[in-house]
A and B are shown apart, each in its own frame.
Chain A
Amino acid sequence: MKTTTAPALTGPAARGPRRSWKPNTLALGWRRTLLEARMFSRDPSSLVFTLFFPLIMMGLFSSVFGNEPSMGDPSRPESLLRPAEYFLPGMLALATILSGFQNLSGYVAAERFNGSIKRLAGTPLPSLSYFLGKTGLTLILILTQTTLLLLGARFLFGVDLPTTAAAWLTFAWLLLGATAAWSVVGIAFACIARSTQSASTMSAVPPLLLAFISGVYFPFSQIPDWLGGLADLTPLRWTASGFRAVFLPEGWESVEPGGVWNLGLSALVIGLWLVVGLIVTMLTFRWPPQK
């Protein structure tokens, strides 16, 4: 009286050699990158609040403030900048914390608690391939955001972009360094989180608050000293000022604290966060997560 059909499956005969076998960490890292990108692209909230957010903010600022030179010291009209010119460095800096911190803290925390990492840890996939996939996705995100912002600024708002190789080199190390620092801090944050809910809520808070006090949405000189002092301790403020050094015309450094761009301090603060984040991640990440 059997009503179900016995499913046929290939048996142990199909099992081939196994002793010498080793997974290809790099090839699997690439596969993970493609899969991560596919999963990300199917998450509407991530697309809006992580990938396109800086672009949306840039559009909003330009709509609110118009496209006339209005930013800066009104007594020196020749130095005034249009909002798109002024906000471009801040939006690029915002992209580093969104692609690095917000993306990774949210997803890694979710994957710690929903069984994703546990499932992967039960397969031959090396944990390094998992991280390569995360790195790949983060690079795709930051490069996409940067490209869209630069293209949008250039062709929609007519912003003049730097023409020297030195400026672009500064831009590149700041961009990659800040994204890397935020990435490891984001993973460490996800490893310390007690639940998915707290992690996904909390991961939106640092970008929101830091963007306000780091000179991303307002000129840094308008931030009260004690808040600015707080921002001085985080990479976002130094990424934003570093990007202003790259994109704003000469003379604007007079608005910065001490009247200089101070790229050395940018490198120092970003580097410190990168190292500390890496150490905390290595100490707290478990493959698979332990209860």
Chain B
Amino acid sequence: METTTFNPSSRTDAARRPDAPIRVENLSKIYRQKSGVLHAVDNLNLSVRAGETYALLGPNGAGKSTTIEILEGHRKPTSGKVTVLETAPYKAHPSFRARIGIVLQEATDSGELRVAEALHALASYYPNPRPVDELISAVGLEGKESQRISTLSGGQRRRVDVALGLVGNPELLFLDEPTTGFDPDARRTFWELIRSLRADGTTIVLTTHYLDEAEQLADRLGVITHGQLVAEGTPGTLGGAALRTPRVSWADNAGHHEESTDRPAELVNRLSAGGTEEPLHLQVRVPSLEDIYLELLRQHDLNGEEAS
């Protein structure tokens, strides 16, 4: 099933290129509320290379959406330097907006419009829009063109959102939790769509709570918590070797055991007395991306408590 291949040498080249579509240096966003000062984004550094798909991960309230909204130009940074397509995005010229596409996290607008009407309407605001019929088939809404958006199912409505984000033919696409509410089949179709955009050279920034989605789509992942980027890497390297140590678990009369080891075969050999005994509930697991992600968050929270 896996189709995303990843070429390390082109990545290194991309890192040297100065034209990274997104560059964020020391970004902070502070909200002053009645309950006190909230550091939604706290001294964040980030760079996304041309043509790559970058996934921002993090728990709710970690600062993902605020960061994305600053990159989209919807929010003003409190401090720091943000450059998106060589532009400071906040209150940028409409020609900047013509080059980016945004898929909103949740929207219930335009319910009175038919699918094709909503797409044609939005397309008319852009200089080089995508053909609407092409877009409708790309998101799998053929036959729904003349249906009112308010009568669509949740998943279909979400596909309209994706199509609306793509209608301007963007160089840079922001996807905020794009597949929430999709059934498994729809998610896979959506992933194919994102891969075809990536193959066309579109730079993509996405947030998601699905680690398998991030693993499938992203060239690189960044983990945000408490407004800070605490880890960054490819799906194969995030968290470093230490977090990827295989775990062997088993049970005996004394209870359940788990051990991390770089030499799981040796441990299993010892536990099974050279293969002559069968330990109860024996498992050898390589940590999944989700395990690594959760461990990263746990470690960061521990550090935060020690520091304070």
Interfacial residues, chain A to chain B (CB-CB below 8 A): 1-12, 14-19, 21-23, 28, 31, 35, 38-39, 42-43, 111, 114-116, 118-126, 288, 290
Contact = CB atoms under 8 A, between A and B. Distances in A.
B306 interface: no
Interface of B: 1, 3, 72, 74-75, 94-95, 97-100, 102, 104, 106-110, 112-113, 117, 121-122, 124-128, 130-131, 134-135, 137-140, 148, 164, 166, 168-169, 171, 185, 188-189, 192-193, 195-197, 199-202
A9 B138 contact: yes
Contact of B166 (A4, A9, A16, A121): A9
Given A122-B72, A124-B125, A21 B107 contact: no
A6 B195 contact: yes
A18 B139 CA distance: 26
A264 B195 CA distance: 67
A38 B134 CA distance: 24
Contact of A115 (B97, B109, B130, B169): B109
Nearest to B105: A115
B102 A9 contact: no
A236 B139 CA distance: 50
Contacts of B171: 12, 15
A243 B140 CA distance: 56
Given A114-B109, A288-B74, A10 B125 contact: no
Contacts of B124: 28, 31
Contacts of B121: 31, 35
Contacts of B75: 290
A20 to B, nearest CB: 8
Contacts of A290: 75
A37 to B, nearest CB: 11
A83 to B, nearest CB: 36
Nearest to A123: B125
Nearest to B170: A15
Nearest to B91: A287
Contact of A119 (B95, B104, B202): B104
B125 A125 contact: yes
B94 A7 contact: no
Contacts of A115: 104, 106-109
A122 B166 CA distance: 12
8 contacts: A6-B193, A7-B137, A9-B135, A28-B125, A39-B110, A121-B74, A122-B72, A124-B97
A118 to B, nearest CB: 6
Given A15-B169, A118-B74, A123-B97, A23 B125 contact: yes
A120 B164 CA distance: 10
Contacts of A35: 113, 121
Enumerate the 8 nearest inter-chain pairs by beta-carbon distance, A residue then B residue, closest first. A115-B107, A11-B200, A116-B109, A124-B94, A7-B138, A122-B102, A42-B112, A124-B97
A124 B102 contact: no
A123 B127 CA distance: 11
Contact of B126 (A10, A118, A124): A124
A202 to B, nearest CB: 20
A21 B95 contact: yes
Contacts of A11: 199-202
A125 B140 CA distance: 27
A20 B207 CA distance: 32
Given A4-B192, A7-B139, A11-B201, A123 B126 contact: yes
Contact of A7 (B104, B117, B196): B196
A200 B185 CA distance: 38
A256 B137 CA distance: 65
B2 to A, nearest CB: 10
Nearest to B193: A7
Contacts of B74: 118, 121-122, 288
A7 B192 contact: yes
A9 B127 contact: no
A22 B94 contact: yes
B189 A4 contact: yes
B153 to A, nearest CB: 18
A10 B196 CA distance: 10
Nearest to A34: B121
A23 B123 CA distance: 12
B232 to A, nearest CB: 26
A8 B185 CA distance: 18
A111 B169 CA distance: 25
A4 B126 contact: no
B202 to A, nearest CB: 7
Nearest to A32: B121
A62 B169 CA distance: 57
Contact of A10 (B127, B169, B185): B169
Contacts of A31: 121, 124
Given A9-B134, A115-B108, A123-B122, A18 B98 contact: yes
